[in-house]
């Protein structure tokens, strides 16, 4: 079965620029191949502000939106997070989406494409790596960054030279790690006591 990789657009802000980057990244990923890619836009998922009373590790969800989100997250082998930098970190909507479920993220791989001002979202990506580690998501080393100043000079996203190669390099790593971690998950399912 083909690997499934979600490109998760981490901003829900009105007027965001991420939707243009996400459309370009999805086209680039599909041209790259190696997996089936799907865009997951957090704006399409009405998660509320962490409204589950229980520990997500127990998966005893009270709300249908959490069950649907958990099933969607669980259906992927890996992720690419498209993350803007807001005030030296990533958006609260993404943190909320990450916190809603736990086990569904475990033993998966992820890449990060960050975007923002002069540091191109690098601080947001580093903050995100800490949380993903706690969710048992293995982040790959390759990390494409997008400075919005030159990339949106005309108001429309224009990828800067070398960005497509950087994204393809990151996807190579995400696909390889996603395949390896699928084997880890399969082994845990065969021997639940090892989980």
Lowest mean pLDDT among 6-15, 73-82, 117-126, 183-192: 183-192
Describe the crossing of helices 163-190 and 18-32 by its angle, rounded to 10 degrees: 70
Q: Specify the residue for token string 């996603």.
A: 178
Task: Specify whether the CB–CB gap between 11 and 91 falls below 8 A.
Answer: yes
Residue 162: phi and psi, rounded to 5, are: 90, -10
pLDDT in tens, 146-163: 999 999 998 999 999 999
Task: Specify whether the CB–CB gap between 181 and 108 falls below 8 A.
Answer: yes
Predicted pLDDT at 82: 98
> Percentage of residues in the chain with pLDDT exceeding 90?
92
The answer to whether residue 18 scores a pLDDT higher than 90 is yes
Provide the CA 170 distance to its chain's centre, in angstroms.
13
Cβ neighbours, 10 Å, residue 77: 23
pTM score over 0.75: yes
pLDDT-derived band at 194 (thresholds 50, 70, 90) equals low
pLDDT-derived band at 118 (thresholds 50, 70, 90) equals confident
Task: Specify whether the CB–CB gap between 157 and 17 falls below 8 A.
Answer: yes
Task: Report how far apart, in Å, the C-alpha atoms of 38 and of each of 5, 20, 21, 41, 193 are.
Answer: 6, 15, 14, 10, 32
Predicted pLDDT at 195: 55
Q: Specify the residue for token string 């127990």.
A: 58
Residue 28 CA to residue 22 CA, distance in Å, equals 10
The answer to whether residue 191 scores a pLDDT higher than 90 is no
CATH dotted code for 4-194: 3.40.50.360
Cβ neighbours, 10 Å, residue 111: 29
Residue 12 CA to residue 51 CA, distance in Å, equals 18
């Amino acid at each position: 079965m083909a690997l499934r990789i979600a490109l998760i657009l981490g901003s829900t802000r009105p007027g965001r620029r991420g939707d243009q980057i996400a459309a370009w990244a999805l086209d680039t990923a599909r041209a790259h191949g190696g997996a089936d890619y799907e865009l997951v836009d957090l704006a399409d998922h009405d998660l509320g502000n962490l409204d589950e009373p229980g520990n997500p590790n127990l998966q005893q969800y009270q709300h249908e939106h959490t069950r649907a989100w958990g099933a969607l997250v669980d259906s992927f082998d890996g992720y690419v997070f498209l993350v803007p930098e807001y005030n030296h970190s990533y958006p609260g909507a993404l943190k909320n989406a990450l916190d809603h479920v736990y086990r569904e993220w475990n033993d998966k791989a992820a890449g990060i494409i960050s975007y923002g001002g002069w540091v191109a979202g690098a601080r947001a990506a580093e903050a995100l790596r800490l949380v993903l580690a706690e969710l048992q998501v293995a982040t790959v080393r390759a990390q494409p960054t997008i400075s919005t100043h030159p990339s949106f000079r005309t108001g429309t996203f224009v990828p800067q030279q070398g960005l497509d190669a950087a994204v393809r390099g990151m996807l190579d790593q995400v696909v390889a790690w996603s395949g390896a971690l699928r084997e880890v998950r399969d082994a845990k399912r065969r021997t639940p006591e090892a989980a």
